[in-house]
Chain A
Amino acid sequence: MKKVLIANRGEIALRVMRACREMGLATVAVYSDVDRAALHVAYADEAYRLGPGPATESYLRGDLILEVAQQAGADAIHPGYGFLSENAEFAEACETAGITFIGPPASAMRALGSKTKARQAADAAQMPRVPGSVKGLATIEEALSVAAQIGYPVMLKAAAGGGGKGMRAVLAATEMAAAYSTASSEAERSFGSGEVYLEKLIERPRHIEIQVIADTHGSCLYLGERECSVQRRHQKVIEEAPSAVVGEDLRRRMGEAAVRLALSAGYVNAGTVEFLVDSDQNFYFLEMNTRLQVEHPVTELITGLDLVAMQLRVAMGEPLGVRQQEVYLRGHAIECRIYAEDPENNFMPSPGKITRLLQPGGPGIREDCGVYEGWTVPLDYDPMLSKLITYGATREEAITRMVRALDEYVVGGIRTNIGLFRRILLDEEFRSAQIDTGYLDRLLAHSATEDESTVPEDVIALAAAILTQRQKTSSLSPVPVAVSRWRSAGRTEGLRA
């Protein structure tokens, strides 16, 4: 493997290219018309245009991407996350074209891709899963009888689902008919398949997932867990590793179950097995994500491993070279997903020009960023700008460090959710790790208590007036008035003395 095409954009494209560069691999970027000036293009060794802005005409065009790969002489494609990363047909097309797809084989993707199939695979691997059906429900009557067996409340879910679409909680039999038809039609519209299944609703579950990686020589490791319970509308907002509630024994049991599932499905490369964990520490298989995840950096920080580099080596056919007992977890890491959206205005997306970008630094900070000052965030894609990750010896230290880093972080020109993170990180329940997947929605249901500001109002008024006046005068006289630097320096020094 000499040259890798990255079939993605934003921070993840950069993340993959960085690993490639460290390993001496040439990088090929692809871009849509609205991304010509994007950071991932400027970072790459080679770059090729795909098409117009909409993803369906650019980043989702597997045929075009393969053409570019062949034209550029790339011998592998890394799909990142989203877009084509879990598309079995694309993985297969790569194989046919003689190009390495950096990810699992199409067969493993198919075996685990649909939620109902994944539940069957979980049964075969003898791992606990949420009680309910393992295949699509043909009729409302079938849904009613399954629900009666496992007991209400239950959850209707789209087999092809993701991101909370095609999902309905059903509290009693009387609600089933309506929930069944809305879930099914929403699934049909979102995923092109109306297949829904049913599972027992776990109350106040925590979302905890296990990172696995398998090589082509039959070895598979689990790299600890990540807790992603802080979610808004089923979208992860904060992730951390390790989980505050997972001890050594539970970690081993969950890890071994995840490895069993991966091996039984013939899985290769990095993947994530998601679980729900109830208040009694019972864990239930939820689904498997057959790709690199957004939140992989928290695992990297506590294991000291480079997951993307491992992915590349596995794709080259190398053995993992690490044994399970050599995987150590050390310290604590937290990730905040910085989005271009306005939490004070119903999380409305906020695309536009980034007029100012001040990024945090110092000990224990990692930022995987896909944007830069002066760039205009296009409205065609996901609003994630950057991932801010902090590392500390303890959870408490990682949290305080994150609060400090957020105070340093300024994104001007567009609105971001930075303020929301401060609210969560300072919240008592989050601090004491009393979180579940409904935590954030409950927090947001209360209006924010005024964040105690330590800055005197006089200073705020003064600063606002000075900067406003400065802006006014600089727009009146675009040519700066010649002030002798010596003279002003002398004046400052004189006053200081």
Chain B
Amino acid sequence: MKTWLRLGDKKRCVELPDNITEPGRHACIVDNRTVEADVMVTEENILSLIVEGRQYRCLLDGDALVLAGRRYEFAVEDPRSLRGRSGGAEGSSGPRTLKAPMPGRVVRVMVSVGDEVEAMQGVVVIEAMKMQNELKVPKAGRISKVAVATDATVEAGQVLIVVE
């Protein structure tokens, strides 16, 4: 089975045998090169990998691989999408949303529907862990939606404001 990954600015293709998660040695193909890997999943999301005698303890944490204390962020790509991840990004012409970067409590909402805003203008203040953070709109335009009110609790990724 083939998996396309984006690691930093590089795109990699990894082909794994179907029984890859069974312990033992497997022949895998990384970008047309064959890599002999001894695979042992020791715990949920933790893998001990031996390649050419070197042992790597790897841990999957959300969208990143943690290895020897370092985080390597990666994304699994859909091979059918030729444009890759950047292809779907929102342009400056359409509506843009401001999402909560972290869970927290809304301390202040500084705009209301219909307000004209500048790009990078602060519009919402969220407090988490004794710290207040001012969130800014990604582009200039008119506020078309205010989805939160003062004192509301928000989750990470929740839409707060829409600007058109």
Residues of A within 8 A of B (CB): 340-341, 345-346, 348-352, 355-356, 358, 379-383, 406-410, 412-413, 418-419, 422, 451, 453-471, 473, 483, 488, 491-492, 495
**In the assembled complex, which residues on chain B have CB atoms less than 8 Å from the CB atom of A465?**
3, 5, 14, 16, 28
**Do the beta carbons of B130 and A381 come within 8 Å of each other?**
yes
Give the nearest-CB partner of B67 in chain A: A455
**Do the beta carbons of A409 and B69 come within 8 Å of each other?**
yes
**Do the beta carbons of B45 and A466 come within 8 Å of each other?**
no
Q: Of residues B1, B35, B60, B68, which shows the largest number of chain A Cβ atoms within 10 Å of its Cβ? A: B60
**In the assembled complex, which residues on chain A have CB atoms less than 8 Å from the CB atom of B7?**
457, 460-461, 464
**In the assembled complex, which residues on chain A have CB atoms less than 8 Å from the CB atom of B56?**
455, 459, 463
**In the assembled complex, which residues on chain B have CB atoms less than 8 Å from the CB atom of A341?**
129
B45 interface neighbour in A350, A456, A471, A483, Cβ under 8 Å: A471
**In the assembled complex, which residues on chain B have CB atoms less than 8 Å from the CB atom of A495?**
24-25, 38
**In the assembled complex, which residues on chain B have CB atoms less than 8 Å from the CB atom of A382?**
129-130
**In the assembled complex, which residues on chain B have CB atoms less than 8 Å from the CB atom of A483?**
22
**In the assembled complex, which residues on chain A have CB atoms less than 8 Å from the CB atom of B58?**
463, 467
Name B48-106 residues within 8 Å CB distance of A.
49, 51, 54, 56, 58-62, 65-72, 74, 76, 101-105
**Do the beta carbons of A379 and B21 come within 8 Å of each other?**
no
**In the assembled complex, which residues on chain A have CB atoms less than 8 Å from the CB atom of B21?**
466, 469-470, 473
18 A–B contacts from the bound complex (CB under 8 Å): A346-B133, A348-B102, A356-B45, A379-B129, A381-B130, A410-B61, A412-B59, A422-B69, A459-B54, A460-B67, A461-B5, A462-B28, A462-B37, A464-B65, A469-B20, A488-B24, A495-B24, A495-B25
Give the nearest-CB partner of A358 in chain B: B59
Q: How far is the CA of A471 from the CA of B59 in the complex (A)?
A: 12
**In the assembled complex, which residues on chain A have CB atoms less than 8 Å from the CB atom of B72?**
460, 464
B51 interface neighbour in A381, A462, A471, Cβ under 8 Å: A462
Which 5 residue pairs spanning A and B have beta carbons closest together? A407-B69, A465-B14, A349-B129, A463-B58, A467-B60
* Contact A462 to B49, CB < 8 A, known contacts A349-B131, A379-B105, A418-B69: yes
* Contact A469 to B16, CB < 8 A, known contacts A351-B128, A351-B129, A412-B59: yes
Q: Of residues A350, A460, A488, A495, which shows the largest number of chain B Cβ atoms within 10 Å of its Cβ? A: A460
* Contact A419 to B47, CB < 8 A, known contacts A349-B104, A466-B20, A469-B3: no
**In the assembled complex, which residues on chain A have CB atoms less than 8 Å from the CB atom of B156?**
352
**In the assembled complex, which residues on chain A have CB atoms less than 8 Å from the CB atom of B117?**
none
**In the assembled complex, which residues on chain B have CB atoms less than 8 Å from the CB atom of A451?**
70
